[in-house]
């Protein structure tokens, strides 16, 4: 028995070349191997960006992910504006934050209800939930639609918003256009408060990890559309421009991908758990109230409870969107002038699933000489592997089937992004 070898294996996208899979090999009570290959880095895009004009980066990088195009646009804009020595502030910055709230609402609603909840409720997917409890899925779809609508009104188009540019926007919406969204957002806020209570009725495995939490420091507000510093609960506190002096990307053979590590440190976690732990005090009264209402501590170390924290952030995004609309005044100009300069800089934003960092080097004509993009999932991948090791070590007695399900759930705790994933259908034809 002691020498029995168990293998836990899942191919997430079994028929999609090389995109996603998990292998855990146990020998008796020893974990021999944990391999995770869930992420394909956007290397093609980095190569494609070289030689392009600096203003093209937001639109090109927005295509990397269908779920978080705004995250890519904002990181690209922040980086370009930093190279060129300009700062987007005031109502233009507020509009960017509002656009980003739309993305958080859309992405968090999708993940909480349709991707993560099935694991907790014992359903294979949201489709089966829809058959038994259609109102749960309809709620998620309506929340998502409201998030998408913000992206349409502010961003011009809900996926791959086309209204965003380096320096601001092509066109600023009127106050009336934004105010028209208020009734829907009020419904979304109420619903997200209910979502937090509903998520708290789920069962969570008794499991905690001792994380290094890392997130942007946005200078006195909960980090969303940007931040000048990258900080952690273990003393990391660096200007975002020094990101690549502290985070190194290592090529991991089994994953055929690059994974982010902090130099001379262990794995770290970025995303909702980290933002919440580091910046709890900056949450809106509504979001803090929701957390307090279910007795959620200020630091959550059980990764399965990320669904609770994601729900609290859903409240935050709705409350923040309402506040931004209330305080909005249409700016006279939709953008500020940005003159290209030779140089290099990093820019980052808080994608729903964690910190996304871009670095660009430009020549004096504004041509991109070099581009580096480090998405949150690249940074989280070593931590997900560490979670899997910890979880399997603690729950080794579970059957292979149960352990496989729990490990898949442990991966979904991170809402991992499979960047530039294909959309095509895998079609199996049986002929008899």
Partner 1 sequence: MSGILVVGTGNSWRGDDAVGLEVASALRGRLPETVRVLATEAEQSSLMDEWEGCDAVLIVDAVHSGAAPGSIHRVDLNAEVVPHAVLQGSTHHFSLGDTIELARALKRLPAKALFLGIEGESFSPGEPLSPAVAAAVPAIVEEIAKEVEALLNGN
Q: Summarize as ranges the residues that interact with partner 1 (CB under 8 A).
A: 12-17, 19-20, 38, 44-45, 48, 63, 66-67, 106, 110, 114-115, 125-128, 130-131, 134, 137-138, 141, 144-145, 148, 158-160, 408, 411-412, 415-418, 420-430
Nearer to partner 1 by Cβ, of 286 and 385: the residue is 385
From CA 416, how far away is CA 405, in angstroms rounded?
A: 16
Residue bearing tokens 């997430």 = 12
Residue 127 C-beta: closest distance to partner 1, Å: 5
Among 239, 237, 236, 308, residue whose Cα is nearest residue 272: 308
From CA 26, how far away is CA 28, in angstroms rounded?
A: 6
Cβ pair 311, 192 in contact under 8 A: yes
Nearer to partner 1 by Cβ, of 367 and 420: the residue is 420
Residue 362 C-beta: closest distance to partner 1, Å: 22
CA max distance for the chain: 74
Helix boundaries (H) for 211-252: 243-246
Per DSSP bridges, beta strands 229-232 and 237-239 are antiparallel
Nearer to partner 1 by Cβ, of 125 and 400: the residue is 125
Nearer to partner 1 by Cβ, of 134 and 239: the residue is 134
Strand partners, 259: 250
Nearer to partner 1 by Cβ, of 48 and 207: the residue is 48
Nearer to partner 1 by Cβ, of 75 and 410: the residue is 410
Nearer to partner 1 by Cβ, of 288 and 353: the residue is 353
Residue 306 tokens, joined: 């990320």
Residue 241 C-beta: closest distance to partner 1, Å: 29
Among 380, 373, 421, 422, residue whose Cα is nearest residue 49: 373
Residue 358 C-beta: closest distance to partner 1, Å: 17
Residue 222 C-beta: closest distance to partner 1, Å: 24
Neighbours of 31 (CB within 10 A): 15
Per-residue three-class SS string for 368-412: EEEEEEECHHHHHHHHHHHHHHHHHHHCCCCCHHHHHHHHHHHHH
Residue 114 C-beta: closest distance to partner 1, Å: 6
């Amino acid at each position: 028995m002691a020498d029995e070898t168990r293998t836990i294996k899942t191919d997430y996208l079994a028929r999609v070349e090389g995109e996603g899979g998990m292998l855990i090999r146990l020998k008796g009570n020893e974990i021999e191997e944990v391999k995770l290959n869930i992420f394909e880095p956007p290397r093609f895009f980095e190569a494609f960006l070289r030689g392009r004009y600096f203003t093209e980066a937001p639109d090109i990088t927005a295509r990397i992910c269908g779920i978080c195009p705004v995250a890519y646009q904002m990181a690209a804009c922040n980086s370009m504006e930093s190279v060129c020595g300009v700062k987007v502030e005031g109502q233009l910055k507020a509009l960017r934050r509002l656009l980003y709230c739309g993305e958080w609402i859309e992405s968090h609603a999708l993940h909480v209800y349709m991707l993560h909840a099935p694991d907790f409720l014992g359903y294979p997917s949201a489709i089966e939930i829809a058959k038994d409890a259609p109102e749960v899925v309809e709620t998620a779809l309506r929340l998502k639609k409201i998030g998408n609508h913000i992206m349409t009104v502010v961003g011009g188009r809900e996926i791959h918003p086309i209204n965003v540019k380096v320096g601001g926007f092509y066109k600023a919406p009127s106050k009336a256009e934004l105010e028209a969204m208020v009734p829907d957002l009020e419904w979304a806020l109420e619903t997200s408060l209910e979502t937090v209570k509903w998520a708290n009725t789920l069962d969570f495995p008794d499991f905690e990890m001792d994380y290094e939490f890392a997130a942007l420091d946005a200078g006195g507000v909960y980090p969303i559309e940007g931040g000048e510093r990258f900080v952690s609960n273990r003393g990391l506190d660096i200007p975002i421009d020094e990101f690549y002096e502290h985070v190194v990307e290592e090529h991991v053979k089994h994953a055929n991908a690059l994974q982010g590590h902090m130099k001379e440190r262990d794995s770290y976690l970025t995303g909702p758990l980290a933002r919440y732990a580091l910046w709890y005090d900056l949450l809106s009264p509504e979001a803090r109230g929701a957390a307090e209402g279910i007795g959620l501590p200020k630091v959550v170390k059980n990764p399965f409870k990320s669904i609770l924290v994601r729900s609290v952030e859903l409240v935050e995004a709705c409350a923040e969107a309402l506040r931004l609309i209330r305080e909005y005044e249409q700016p006279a100009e939709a953008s500020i002038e940005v003159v290209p300069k030779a140089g290099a800089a990093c820019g980052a934003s808080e994608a729903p699933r964690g910190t996304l960092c871009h670095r660009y080097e430009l020549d004096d004509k504004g041509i991109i000489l070099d581009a580096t993009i480090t998405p949150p999932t690249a940074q989280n991948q070593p931590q997900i592997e560490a979670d899997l090791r910890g979880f399997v070590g603690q729950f080794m007695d579970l059957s292979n089937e149960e352990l496989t399900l729990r490990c898949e759930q442990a991966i979904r705790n991170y809402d991992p992004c499979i960047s530039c994933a294909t959309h095509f259908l895998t079609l199996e034809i049986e002929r008899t």
